[in-house]
Structure 1
Amino acid sequence: MDYTLNKKALEENGYSIIKSLYTESEIDQIATCIKHSQKKEESFLRTKDLFAIRQLNNVVPRLRELLFNVKLTNLLSELFDTKYFLTKAIYFDKPSTSNWFVGYHQDLSISVNKKIDIPGYTNWTFKRGQYGVQPPIEILQNTITLRVHLDETDKNNGALKVIPKSHLKNIYRPESIDWNIETEHVCAIEEGGVMLMKPLTLHASNKTTNGKRRRVIHLEFCNHELESSLNWQERFEL
């Protein structure tokens, strides 16, 4: 399949939607694999409004053969001009009764193996045994987020809202959004569909109002090496 138009939309608008990358059977296998995964305390997060698994590729390695199939690798090969690798994998399950919403933001943090003092790396965090840091802007510019949807998702059960072209403004603080010039787009996606997004694209999601759950696998890929002895925490070569 030719993904030229998707690549163009991603570069110009900061996001793109692929109607169906995984079949219904493949989605069922992925969901079953996650359901029967062994719980690891630091990686599993559960509240009444959200269930999440961090470092999904490491915690549920059986998912690799299901997620990283020929269609996905072909897509990534068209999106990247040089060698790429996985840098982050998270599973999100927004229950049908969720009151959880997220305001507009950019994804500015990457996961790394340790904390060291390096120019250009700021806003360090340490949560649930994992270091996060905001890297130089060029690393975020060379990252692509791929969101695999295990459920049909629209504005009523947490589909992402985005501000087209906001990734072109580099660091764009939500409080400075000028709604006189900006527009909002809701990214409704079918089961098995995929949303491509630049991490610098401003995005948000609403509460669930239609009684339907929303399960998403969030994958980040990059082709940029880090400085000095700093390494990507979840780096995985496809």
Structure 2
Amino acid sequence: MENLQNHKKEISEKGFTLINDVFSKQEINQIINVIDSIDTSKETFRKSEDLFAIRQFLKEVPESHRFIFNDNIKQIINEVFGNDYFVVKSIYFDKPEKSNWYVSYHQDLTISVDKKLDLNGFGPWTTKQNQFAVQPPIDYLKNIFTIRIHLDDTDENNGALKVVPNSHSKEIYRPETIDWNVETEEICSVNKGGIMIMKPLILHGSNRTTNNQKRRVIHIEFSNMELPEEINWSERLN
């Protein structure tokens, strides 16, 4: 493993970092085999002609845990985040040829919780497939780290994430106000078996796939902050 303190510093300064060779080819193939073998008829599985998203991935596909949480990932979580961090959200998505889409620049501003209620500082709320999401106070968003595990080689030709470096430091940053005379864009190419770590407040998006190559990613968010006692993280996993 590379010097993780350098990656920790890069996340603080730029809002993201890339680490390749976190998973072996065998581990990635084991994860893919698990995904390929599951029942995709549940409402948390979003499909067009191909499966392209699984919400609450770690809940829905528990067989994946032993391959995802390998020694490298555990070391990264402990050294970069802290040993008190736990999972709060997980999604699997693909950009296959028949389910190809463009994602404009945005920040990840919501968390997944178990119920909807009036709570000071929390809102607005959304509900998707009986799952509740809410924009929390900014401190929660600043606290979260996201790991994106790449199951395929990913570059600008198959929908690699593009980001605005250091935009996470500006808190809520509306995409329509981006001044491209000041800001820069960076394409985050990641090898199969590598990861991207990012802060939810970094402005990010992705282009359509142009080379008909898959771009399968497992997106996992981590926090060490407790919610008010009236609600719970809906996907909490220690």
**Pair in the same fold by TM > 0.5:** yes
- Indicate the residue corresponding to 1:230 in structure 2: 231
- Indicate the residue corresponding to 1:220 in structure 2: 221
Consecutive unaligned residues of structure 2, counting only runs of 5 or more, are none
* Equivalent position amino acid for 1:187 in 2: C
Contact 1:96 1:157 in 2 (8 A): no
Which 4+ runs in 1 deviate beyond 6 A? none
User: TM-score, with normalisation over the residues of structure 1?
Assistant: 0.96
- Indicate the residue corresponding to 2:89 in structure 1: 88
Q: C-alpha separation between the residues in 2 aligned to 1:94 and 1:134? A: 26
The answer to whether residue 69 in structure 2 is matched with residue 68 in structure 1 is: yes
Give the Å deviation of 1:229. Answer: 1.5
* Equivalent position amino acid for 1:199 in 2: P
Q: Percent identity?
A: 51
Contact 1:49 1:100 in 2 (8 A): no
- Indicate the residue corresponding to 1:3 in structure 2: 4
Q: C-alpha separation between the residues in 2 aligned to 1:29 and 1:41? A: 22
1:65-96 Cα offsets, whole Å, 9 max, x none, are: 11011111110001124511000111001103
1:193-230 Cα offsets, whole Å, 9 max, x none, are: 00000000000100011121110000000111111311
- Indicate the residue corresponding to 2:21 in structure 1: 20
The RMSD of aligned alpha carbons is 1.2
Q: C-alpha separation between the residues in 2 aligned to 1:122 and 1:136? A: 9
1:126-159 Cα offsets, whole Å, 9 max, x none, are: 1101000000101010100000000000001000
Q: C-alpha separation between the residues in 1 aligned to 2:236 and 2:100? A: 33
Give the Å deviation of 1:38. Answer: 2.3
Structure 1 residues 49 and 178, CA gap change in structure 2 (3 angstroms): farther
Give the Å deviation of 1:188. Answer: 0.5
- Indicate the residue corresponding to 1:180 in structure 2: 181
Alignment of 1:32-47 (within 5 A): 32-47=33-48
Structure 1 residues 57 and 99, CA gap change in structure 2 (3 angstroms): closer
Q: C-alpha separation between the residues in 1 aligned to 2:59 and 2:100? A: 29
Alignment of 1:87-166 (within 5 A): 87-166=88-167
Aligned length in residues: 237
* Equivalent position amino acid for 1:215 in 2: R
1:5-33 Cα offsets, whole Å, 9 max, x none, are: 11110111000000110000000000000
Q: C-alpha separation between the residues in 1 aligned to 2:110 and 2:47? A: 22
Contact 1:97 1:211 in 2 (8 A): no
- Indicate the residue corresponding to 1:205 in structure 2: 206
Once the two structures are overlaid, the 10-residue window that deviates more, 193-202 or 222-231, is: 222-231
Contact 2:52 2:99 in 1 (8 A): no
User: TM-score, with normalisation over the residues of structure 2?
Assistant: 0.96
Q: C-alpha separation between the residues in 1 aligned to 2:188 and 2:98? A: 21
Contact 1:122 1:133 in 2 (8 A): yes
Structure 1 residues 39 and 62, CA gap change in structure 2 (3 angstroms): same
Consecutive unaligned residues of structure 1, counting only runs of 5 or more, are none
